[in-house]
Amino acid sequence: MMSQVRFFPPDWNMTDFHQRLRQLRTARKLTQTRMAELLEVSPRVYTRWDNGDATPQFGTVVRIANILDVSLDELAGRKEAGDGAAIHNPELHRLYKKVDQLSDEDQKALTIVLDSLVKRSRVGKVMAEL
């Protein structure tokens, strides 16, 4: 007798998808408009997915998981999602994953550039408060 493999939690169905989608999107500080841009769909179409009025096709679900940097299991609710992307900007996060491939010299240069940008931002915020 073959054991039954459960692919989704017993109470899960696609009507729950929009709640998970919204939770993961907001955890990454992405707006509906930005998600629509990243998916190359109209904001109206994306809003329908986010509100649960429609469900995207599977290929689009895969793209959503990639943009949110989660597995399909996390997006489907089969596995608890991590704390979120280390970097909320998807393009920066994609590049961040490739930093280890740079030479030590290039990594040092990148560290200097990033440090100077962070310091400049902090100074700008302090000056704006004065």
Residue in 59, 45, 52 with CA at minimum distance from that of residue 20: 52
Long-range contacts of 14-23 (CB under 8 A, 24+ apart): 14/55, 15/52, 16/77, 17/49, 17/52, 17/55, 17/61, 17/75, 17/76, 18/49, 18/50, 18/51, 18/52, 18/55, 19/52, 20/75, 20/76, 20/77, 21/49, 21/50, 21/64, 21/75, 22/50, 23/81
**pLDDT at residue 122 greater than cutoff 60:** yes
**pLDDT at residue 24 greater than cutoff 70:** yes
How many percent of the chain have pLDDT more than 70? 82
Q: What is the pTM of this model?
A: 0.59
- pLDDT of res. 48: 94
- pLDDT of res. 43: 95
For range 31-37, the mean pLDDT: 92
pLDDT in tens, 38-86: 899 999 999 999 998 998 998 999 999 988 888 888 888 777 766 555 6
For range 116-120, the mean pLDDT: 88
Q: Which helix (H) or strand (E) holds 67?
A: helix 58-68
